[in-house]
Structure 1
Amino acid sequence: MERSETSDLRAVLFDRDGTLVVDVPYNGDPDLVQPMPGAKDVLDGLRAAGIATGVISNQSGIARGLITPGDVASVNAKVEELLGPFDVWEICPHAEQDGCACRKPAPGMVLNACRKLGISASQAALIGDIGADVGAAEAAGAVGVLVPTPVTRAEEVAGARLVAADLASAVGLLQAAP
């Protein structure tokens, strides 16, 4: 959905792994959490501007038995310790084959986050590093911004409407959107 005014943006949601923090596959160890460059400054700027922040994260390692919900909670607590508090967290514990409505690129987590924040999805954006992040945003009616990393596939970059080099540029795109 296109925004008519930038003032309509009320929340920026983020993928966790590869977007806010360095991706450590199936990380259950808070000591391995490392913020992505510039993440804290971007989040502090959004918070200072009165824009809600949230995290939308697939955590299939839970369904696969590789990590526990407690492990994920410990890692998320470390993320908040390093990057500041988030207004909403949405975690999908399912595996791809479970066919749930929450696992990105399904819109469930984005819609739930917006509901908890008391906003419509058109007032939110989701920034992530893979096509599933952008897909979840668009399926929910939010704006998706792709910030590619070395694991992002070329077709995901080609298919994204908004692509940014880093988190600061991604937020800049949102603020410049019509």
Structure 2
Amino acid sequence: MESEPYKPLLHIVLYQPEIPHNTGSVGRTCVAVGAKLWLVRPLGFQVDNYHLRRAGLDYWQHLNWQVVDDWQQLISHLPVERFWYFTKFAQHRLGTAEFEPGDVLVFGRESQGLPEDIRNLAPERGLRIGCRPEVRSLNLSNSVAVACYEALGQWRRAGGLGLELPE
């Protein structure tokens, strides 16, 4: 259930994801950018070969990923001070964040987003991705892709920071 095929540039956390196809798309993005995917239970699907194939994850063997049982187990593995919380309720726009290699980008459930108690852990590290008023929020997998490529773009503009960035 866990593998380490590469050292992650970022950590992507899906808190209690509900839709396997979204998780599949996020996994693809993680492989593309060199991020580790963390899934926090309960999940709205089973992580087994059938469900992975169904979600089209023929590249899953290339993904650095891990499933944890709950929020407490997640924070025992990762530096909380490096967490960025993505929510439509955040005061700060994505473009205002200054990402560092190893940062943790946390995303909530497709139907409800991040719970208020998690959003309130560090409101100054809450980020939102702007949308027109006709749209509540972007799809989860799109949000992850936008955030990951914003971080990579920052690092490229900073001269690459000595990182091996994907082309």
Q: TM-score range by the shorter chain?
A: 0.3 to 0.5
TM-score calculated relative to the size of structure 1: 0.42
TM-score calculated relative to the size of structure 2: 0.44
